[in-house]
């Protein structure tokens, strides 16, 4: 038993929800088992909510909304500041929870999963301090006001990061929230609820109800007293949530699937562009919606790129996520492991060239949902491995003949979440970036920017997260004419 599970067990939180400032038992008896993907063994049992639990949390959030939304911005920022500090103080506890619940290497959990999650809190706090909630347009006042009660649905792949990316801007805007984390990775969410409680969050401002998508997710989406839903998940899940929300005409913000391209321009430094492209594609073992899993390469450079890509992938250390030498742990859960294995098989059937990896576990790993980092080359743009989101360590190298052709291939997908462009001529890269239909474009692997808005075109969703735009998703616009005389 890890220290995180022991902490939650001893506190009695595994079988409870956090509603109206209290840890409460669920109304029903449904539970779910949390499985450690590294050992394929149960490590915890959590309660699952029902419609009555959802209603209880929504009522608490609605009751708290008026008071919280009228708090001075400085008071809301002060709460976020306390949350930020506590989260960093408990970094190791959160890292262990994330490693236990979804298999992230402990080194990666410590340096990325938790610190980047904390950054969303800091950014929301800082943006709140300077945001103009009232602006002047002639004699009219343009007011930005909290939209109301928000249902937040988060995924299993970045469990804490996605929570803070939604909770922090929503609270900064003056909204109250009901969080439904993934039932597959709920441990870090329960620890976060404890942070909110210890930070002195007013009752009802933050609420947590564990549960499944069809029950708790749909319950939040269809609830008439919920003003907005923000979901991060698969495109299929996003569609179902939008359908459930439609009768109540609530706002729905969706951050969904992706099949992001990485265009390696002919003048790029391949010795840098290719290894970093492999690392980006396999970040979090490819379990990231914006992972650049399509590498577009000039046809004349394919042979060299294959060699560089294989060398980069061979340096990855897949194994026990608690080992300091491990760079990549197991796939987070059995369904995702099976999906990855199936798609690798499809790539072979479609005739793609296997550069490295392939089906099955790494040879020395017999237990755990471990997948082999896999690279295909000579991938045709129409192949399923080039079109479908695999959500695992599978990279497709696709040849192009002209830069215009590369842009066409990059846009030839139903998704539009992220994209990368590598080269040496900044004007060319900027021009290519302007033609790609996606919510973000990264030029030459820049540092992550928590203030850069993130979201999708097409079936990758709508709305934006992160930074100022992320907070504005939780605001309504009111015009008061004749306000100024």
- SS3 readout for the chain: CCHHHHHHHHHCCCCCEEECCEEECCCCCCEEEEEECCCCEEEEEEECCCHHHHHHHHHHHHHHHHHHHCCCHHHHHHHHHHHHHHHHHCHHHHHHHHHHHHCCCHHHHHHHHHHHHHHHHHHHHHHHHHCCCEEEECCEEEEEEECCEEEEECCCCCHHHHHHHHHHHHHHHCCEEEEECCCCCCHHHHHHHHHHHHCCCCCCCEEECCCCHHHHHHHHHHCCCCCEEEEECCHHHHHHHHHHHHHHCCEEEEECCCCCEEEECCCCCHHHHHHHHHHHHCHHHHCCCCCCCEEEEEHHHHHHHHHHHHHHHHCCCECCCCCCCCCECCCCCHHHHHHHHHHHHHHHHCCCEEEECCCCCCCCCCCCCCCCCEEEECCCCCCHHHHCCCCCCEEEEEEECCHHHHHHHHHCCCEECCCEEECCCHHHHHHHHHHCCCCCCEECCCCCCCCCCECCEECCEECCECHHHHHHCCEEEEEECCCCC
Give me the catalytic one of 100, 289, 389, 465: 289
Of 449, 448, 446, the C-alpha closest to 433 is 446
- Active-site residue, 150 included: no
Rg (CA), the chain: 23
Is the CB of residue 253 less than 8 Å from the CB of residue 246? no
- Active-site residue, 315 included: no
Give the separation between CA 189 and CA 405, rounded to whole angstroms. Answer: 44
Of 447, 395, 443, the C-alpha closest to 423 is 443
Give me the catalytic one of 101, 255, 306, 473: 255
Is the CB of residue 37 less than 8 Å from the CB of residue 57? no
Which are the catalytic amino acids? 255, 289
């Amino acid at each position: 038993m890890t220290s995180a599970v022991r902490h939650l067990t001893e506190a009695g939180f595994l079988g409870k929800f956090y509603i109206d400032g209290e840890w409460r038992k669920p109304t029903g008896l449904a539970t779910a088992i949390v499985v450690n993907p590294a050992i394929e063994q149960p490590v915890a049992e959590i309660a699952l909510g029902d419609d009555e639990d959802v209603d209880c949390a929504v009522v608490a959030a609605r009751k708290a909304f008026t008071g919280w939304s009228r708090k001075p911005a400085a008071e809301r920022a002060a709460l976020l500041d306390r949350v930020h500090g506590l989260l960093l103080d408990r970094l190791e506890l959160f890292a262990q929870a994330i490693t236990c619940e979804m298999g992230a290497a402990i080194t990666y959990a410590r340096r990325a999963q938790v610190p980047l999650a904390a950054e969303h809190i800091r950014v929301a706090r800082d943006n709140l301090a300077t945001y103009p909630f009232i602006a002047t347009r002639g004699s009219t006042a343009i007011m930005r006001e909290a939209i109301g009660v928000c249902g937040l649905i988060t995924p299993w792949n970045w469990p804490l990061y996605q929570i803070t990316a939604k909770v922090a801007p929503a609270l900064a805007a003056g909204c109250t929230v009901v969080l439904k984390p993934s039932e597959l990775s709920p441990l870090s969410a329960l620890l976060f609820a404890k942070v909110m409680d210890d930070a002195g969050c007013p009752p009802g401002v933050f609420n947590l109800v564990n549960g499944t998508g069809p029950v708790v997710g749909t319950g939040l989406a269809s609830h008439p007293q919920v003003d907005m839903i923000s979901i991060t998940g698969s495109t299929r899940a996003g569609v179902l949530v939008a359908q459930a929300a439609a009768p109540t005409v609530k706002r729905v913000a969706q951050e969904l699937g992706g099949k992001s391209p990485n265009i390696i321009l002919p003048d790029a430094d391949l010795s840098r562009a290719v290894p970093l492209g492999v690392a980006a594609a396999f970040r979090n073992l490819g379990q990231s919606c914006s992972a650049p899993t399509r590498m577009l390469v000039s046809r004349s450079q394919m042979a060299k790129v294959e060699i560089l890509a294989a060398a980069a992938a061979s340096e990855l250390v897949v194994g026990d996520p608690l080992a300091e030498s491990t760079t990549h742990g197991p796939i987070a859960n059995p369904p995702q492991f099976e999906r990855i294995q199936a798609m690798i098989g499809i790539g072979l059937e479609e005739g793609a060239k296997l550069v490295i990896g392939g089906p099955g576990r790494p040879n020395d790993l017999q237990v755990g949902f471990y997948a082999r980092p896999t690279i295909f080359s000579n991938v045709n743009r129409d192949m399923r491995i080039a079109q479908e989101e695999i959500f695992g360590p599978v990279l497709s190298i696709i040849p192009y003949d002209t830069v215009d052709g590369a842009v066409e291939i990059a846009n030839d997908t139903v998704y539009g979440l992220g994209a990368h462009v590598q080269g040496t001529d900044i004007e060319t890269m900027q021009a290519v970036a302007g033609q790609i239909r996606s919510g973000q474009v990264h030029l030459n692997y820049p540092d992550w920017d928590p203030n850069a808005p993130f979201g999708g075109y097409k079936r990758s969703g709508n709305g934006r997260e992160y930074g100022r735009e992320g907070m504005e998703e939780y605001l309504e616009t009111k015009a008061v004419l004749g306000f100024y005389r």
